[in-house]
Amino acid sequence: MDKNRSMHSHAEHGNERHCYDSIIIGAGIAGAATAYALRQKGQTVLVLDKKGIAFGGSGAAGAFVSPKIGKGSPLQTLTNEAFSFAKDFYLSVCPQFFHQTGVIRLPKDEEDAKKFSDYEAFNQNKYENYSKAQLHSLGIKSEFESFYFPEAGDCDAVEVCELLLKEIEVIEYDVADVIQKDELWYIGEHKAQNLILATGYESDLADLRYMGIRSTWGTRGDFTSSLSLNVSMHQSMSVGANVGGIIKLGATHEKEVKEIVSCKEKQALELKEKASSLIETSDLALQKVYCGMRAGSKDYFPLLGRVIDVPFMLENYPAIVRGAKPEMKYVDHLFVCNGLGGRGFVFAPLMAKMLAEFIVNDTEIDKRINSDRLFLRWCRKL
């Protein structure tokens, strides 16, 4: 990416041309959505990313925007709140990159199909029951009744991130360290009052150990096809509808991969083989492979809010490891938006809105996603 991409004049700062309200590190969907939300609130924003927009896990995502099924867990409730917000957001902001094809949730096997009857009472979003005959009429090889969510769909991952950042300054920059001085954050020649870490699995610019950020490798294959498939589906993998002659398969969830590696056609072709149990795949031809690392949390809830000053807390309150609960000390003007996991494009718009309202309006962050929730538990394990 050209380092001058989306560069805008900041003449209002006079000689402080490189001073911003907020700098965001990370140009995946978390960083892009946060930058968009802050700019909507009138902030000047700079986004830094060492490889460019949606280069990592976000670019490799299947980018499905669909509800979560289950028995009404807190995570399901939050996910479905985020889904409702996200689908309206994408329809409003970037409808050309959100394909509202509907998504069918298919049971994995007979045992899973029995659970679906228990899940039905907790479907919090608009849905229909699809019979085996209806599925077969759509070209879907399933023997079990399934849920169809008509408002769901999937995003063009890279294009969405690029659009959200279209009016925002973005620079390819490998951030080695950050410095805070005189109530400002300094990164190279740039400075800002606020620093937001949307760095995904790479979380070494601050002490975020207590957040337990975990990495999951994902591979997605885009296949050309003439197959008439006008609905997306998810079972043990995701299959996108045929949009413009392309069917997206994936992405995978591989926890054993610890380092970034080159994308491999073999893994994408394995997805095609797996998809053959769901759809006719004979004319699917691999066009491109995407891969990258996604970041999640220990409890699968997003991580949002201020960053606790871990060294200060451990040094000044040693009893914290034995269960003491002192008042938290935070690193001034340092925030995090991370841990969106495999549902990044579901969570990002709502998380970004909440973080922007917290930074600009001091609106309290929902306790379910506030990253403070993990600190005392982490301390007790030291």
Q: Would you give the DSSP letter of residue 279?
A: S
**99 occurs within a structural domain:** no
**130 occurs within a structural domain:** no
Whether residues 169 and 53 share a domain: the answer is yes
- Tell me the Ramachandran region of residue 26: left when phi exceeds 0, alpha when psi lies from -120 to 50, beta otherwise: left
Helix (H, G, I), strand (E, B) or coil at 339: coil
Tokens of 292: 């990258």
Structural domain span for residue 375: 17-63+156-213+297-382
**26 occurs within a structural domain:** yes
Identify the domain boundary among 239, 268, 293.
293
Whether residues 181 and 243 share a domain: the answer is no
Whether residues 206 and 226 share a domain: the answer is no
Whether residues 244 and 370 share a domain: the answer is no
The structural domain count of the chain equals 2
Identify the domain boundary among 252, 269, 293.
293
Helices 74-93 and 344-361 pack at an angle, to 10 degrees, of 80
Helix (H, G, I), strand (E, B) or coil at 68: coil
Helix (H, G, I), strand (E, B) or coil at 35: helix
**139 occurs within a structural domain:** no
For residue 302, report the phi and psi dihedrals to the nearest 5 degrees: -60, 160
Contact 93, 67 (CB under 8 A): no
Whether residues 378 and 239 share a domain: the answer is no
**209 occurs within a structural domain:** yes
Tens-digit pLDDT profile for the chain (382 aa)? 333 333 333 333 334 458 999 999 999 999 999 999 999 999 999 999 999 999 888 988 889 999 999 999 999 999 999 999 999 999 999 999 999 999 999 999 999 999 999 999 999 899 999 999 999 999 999 999 999 999 999 999 999 999 999 999 999 999 999 999 999 999 999 999 999 999 999 889 999 999 999 999 999 999 999 999 999 999 989 999 999 999 999 988 877 667 777 888 999 999 999 999 999 999 999 999 999 999 999 999 999 999 999 999 999 999 999 999 999 999 999 999 999 999 999 999 999 999 999 999 999 999 999 999 999 999 999 9
**352 occurs within a structural domain:** yes
